[in-house]
Structure 1
Amino acid sequence: MVVGNLAPTITLQIPLEDIVKATDNFHDDNIIRHGGHGPTYKGRLLRSGNLINIAAQRIDHKNGEGDVKFWTEIWRLLDLKHTNIVSIIGFCDAKDEKIITTTFPEYGSLRLHLNNPKLTWMQRLRICVGVARALSYLHYDEGRGYTVIHGAITSNTILLDKSLEAKLSCFHNSIKQCYEDQVHHCEPISIPGYTDPAIKEIGGVTRKSDIYSFGVVLFEILCGREACTENEANRFLAPLAKCHYENKTLKDIIFPYLWIQMSPQSLLTYSEAAYSCLEKEPEDRANMDYIVAELEKALKLQVRYENLLNVFLMCFLFAVLLFCVHYFFIPIV
């Protein structure tokens, strides 16, 4: 069932044959993500004479919820406009196919880069700030008149463009509600390693459910590993990270390539914010605006630290240069 005026979506309709061509007939090599509601493919779509990069999400509607998920994402993306959220390009609803196309950031999902040693601590902080700002926009933007619970925050639903700017995607499980509502009573999807354990107790999801999932992502970024790892003694990252934080042994699980880059103050601010997202009781978790402020602070501390290092390095090199000039080139009188 579709609710709302369909007129704005008419210009967004894309012929199925165009999407088939763009994704090379949905070739397996073009799959960028497997989701609970169907795979997503990368492709190159011709629009207004230009080839653009797209992500085409092919909704599996055999489970009876496909129509709802399909239209939920379309209308949500039409409403949401933010630098750190993917933009809708169009959709296809033809021949038993339901496909949503959005902009496709060239670097793919954050999950692909968690253990990439070339992704610096500074870059990781900028990604975190971007996602946090997107979530703050979803949760508190007053100009929209309602709040949105994303419902599926993972390192797989966060995409990165060529400038490593974060783009939040996958809104088919998102929930729209009034600001005053505390709990949305529903049967939420369960994503191993990310799902808020308090959901069962309170009987539904809240904005704090997104915050818990985001806290898991923050520790993924810090530790360079996924939230759930098969065949590991410590399969789930969240309880492991909480344990190390409480025991002041976080260094033992930080991604080794990051440790030598970090400002101690930046790490302290970041880890405190990440830990606050994972508090057992939802009411004890910080809200998203606070998390944004703390992550921005962690980024500023890191920028200051690296600037000071650069100044120190330049002074050291200049001193070495003066020594060499004096020792090797000034003749002894």
Structure 2
Amino acid sequence: MTTTIPKFAHLLIPLEDVVKATHNFANDNIIGRGGLGHVYKGQLQRSGELIKISALRLDRKHGGGVVEFWTEVSMLSDLKHPNIVSIVGFCDEQHEKIIVTTYEAKNGSLKEHLSNPNLTWTQRLKICVGVARALSYLHYDEGRDYGVIHLNINSSTILLDENWEPKLSGFKVSIKQSLNRMDRVILSEPIGTIGYMDPEIEKTKGVTHKSDVYAFGVVLFEILCGRRAYIKTGENKFLAGLAKYHYENETIPDIIHPHLKNQMSKNQISLSSLRKYSKTAYSCLKEDRAHRPHMLSIADELQKAFEKALNFKPRPENFVSLFFCILFFSLGLLTLFPIVFF
């Protein structure tokens, strides 16, 4: 039996096609396990073209999940942005509910690469800019008469394609809100992932688009510190509080991930880029929502930090020795002093 909403009928995909695409939901094709169910990779024939897909298969064993399913379908059917996952369609038959999107996570999720020593500072900045642009589009796109509050921003819902471009996913609890009411509180139970949740939710009994800003600020510090927002054991379980403490005490370098700090030192990364980045990340974590910036401003500031990193031209490590090497070479005397300058 199907419960498909008519307005989404054009996105329907036959169950047999999804079964074939995923090799009957083979375990070898599982690429993720989330709150709604398993995600499978596969290849689906659509309009004569074979495309790579991800298929989120709703786990109905424990009931529930139907509202979240339709929320995600509804959101993705309306959203078109290079930094947001693209829906292919969905299946709704024989008690199966499956959301099919293009396969975007060739490099997995951001969560898997927070401490990756090979992920450079400029690559990290590029990821941040992409996510900020996606959130700006959700909150303010002029092509719609409503904004979208994502409410599930974390390093697991940010996927990375083969070029390390971010693709925002995880719209199962997202909320639509009229553009002229984006600053109004929407009454809600606490929504989100531990470590990323807006502390104002408890005070106001609801959420706004600034709740996304807070969560994104936590992600920015995850990227800088190379660790998760919440760690179950040990000291400093919550990254947000730790990051705010070090920023306010001007000791941010103390919590930068060692691999990244070493990379910055070796490559003489522009400190002004780091300063602008950390200032922007900190502003997102302001206790009072009114003091947090809007996503358009955040995207602009991160773009500036990215450009500073790209355009930084380091001074030669030993400028004086290099100068004299060139001078002596021009005088034909370099071979007489091979040890002094090298």
* TM-score, normalised via structure 1 length: 0.89
Cα displacement (A) at 1:314:
12
Quote the residue 1:270 is aligned against.
277
Task: Call closer, same or farther: CA 1:324–1:212 in 2, change over 3 Å.
Answer: same
Quote the residue 1:156 is aligned against.
156
The letter of the residue matching 2:286 is E
Structure 1 stretch displaced more, 291-300 or 253-262: 253-262
| Aligned 1:126-141 pairs, distance under 5 A | 126-141=126-141
Q: CA deviation digits over 1:166-199, x for unaligned, max 9?
A: 1111111110011233111122434111111111
Structure 2 distance, partners of 1:322, 1:26, is 69
Q: CA deviation digits over 1:52-103, x for unaligned, max 9?
A: 2211111234565422222211121111111111110111111111110111
- The correspondence for 1:295, drawn from 302, 308, 322, is 302
Structure 2 distance, partners of 1:251, 1:175, is 37
- The correspondence for 1:210, drawn from 212, 235, 240, is 212
The letter of the residue matching 1:258 is L
The letter of the residue matching 2:282 is Y
Quote the residue 2:293 is aligned against.
286
Structure 1 stretch displaced more, 28-37 or 112-121: 28-37
Structure 1 stretch displaced more, 211-220 or 98-107: 98-107
| Fraction of identical pairs, as percent | 54
Gaps of 5+ in 1: none
Q: CA deviation digits over 1:7-53, x for unaligned, max 9?
A: xx334222223323333333344333322222222223233343322
The letter of the residue matching 2:150 is H
Structure 2 distance, partners of 1:317, 1:48, is 64
Structure 2 distance, partners of 1:29, 1:230, is 30
Cα displacement (A) at 1:112:
1.0
Q: CA deviation digits over 1:270-309, x for unaligned, max 9?
A: 000001111111111111111111101101111121xx12
Q: Do 1:2 and 1:71's aligned partners in 2 also have CA atoms closer than 8 Å?
A: no
Task: Call closer, same or farther: CA 1:5–1:317 in 2, change over 3 Å.
Answer: farther
SS in 1 for 2:229: coil
Task: Call closer, same or farther: CA 1:249–1:315 in 2, change over 3 Å.
Answer: closer
The letter of the residue matching 1:55 is S
SS in 1 for 2:31: strand
Cα displacement (A) at 1:321:
7.0
Structure 1 distance, partners of 2:222, 2:257, is 9
Structure 2 distance, partners of 1:21, 1:323, is 72
SS in 1 for 2:50: strand
Structure 1 distance, partners of 2:70, 2:279, is 38
Cα displacement (A) at 1:236:
1.4
Q: Do 1:215 and 1:277's aligned partners in 2 also have CA atoms closer than 8 Å?
A: yes
Quote the residue 2:13 is aligned against.
14
Structure 2 distance, partners of 1:20, 1:323, is 73
SS in 2 for 1:180: helix
| Aligned 1:23-42 pairs, distance under 5 A | 23-42=22-41
Structure 2 distance, partners of 1:322, 1:107, is 49
How many residue pairs end up in the alignment? Answer: 325
The letter of the residue matching 2:201 is I
The letter of the residue matching 1:227 is A
Quote the residue 2:91 is aligned against.
92
Q: Do 1:33 and 1:156's aligned partners in 2 also have CA atoms closer than 8 Å?
A: no
Structure 2 distance, partners of 1:130, 1:5, is 33
Quote the residue 1:178 is aligned against.
178
Gaps of 5+ in 2: 337-342
The letter of the residue matching 1:244 is H
| Aligned 1:216-295 pairs, distance under 5 A | 216-259=218-261, 260-261=263-264, 262-295=269-302
Q: Do 2:115 and 2:259's aligned partners in 1 also have CA atoms closer than 8 Å?
A: no
Task: Call closer, same or farther: CA 1:83–1:252 in 2, change over 3 Å.
Answer: same
Task: Call closer, same or farther: CA 1:312–1:2 in 2, change over 3 Å.
Answer: farther
Structure 1 distance, partners of 2:12, 2:56, is 14
Task: Call closer, same or farther: CA 1:47–1:279 in 2, change over 3 Å.
Answer: same
| Aligned 1:28-107 pairs, distance under 5 A | 28-61=27-60, 65-105=64-104, 106-107=106-107
SS in 2 for 1:90: strand
The root-mean-square deviation of aligned C-alpha atoms, in Å, is 2.5
Task: Call closer, same or farther: CA 1:278–1:28 in 2, change over 3 Å.
Answer: farther
Task: Call closer, same or farther: CA 1:312–1:61 in 2, change over 3 Å.
Answer: same
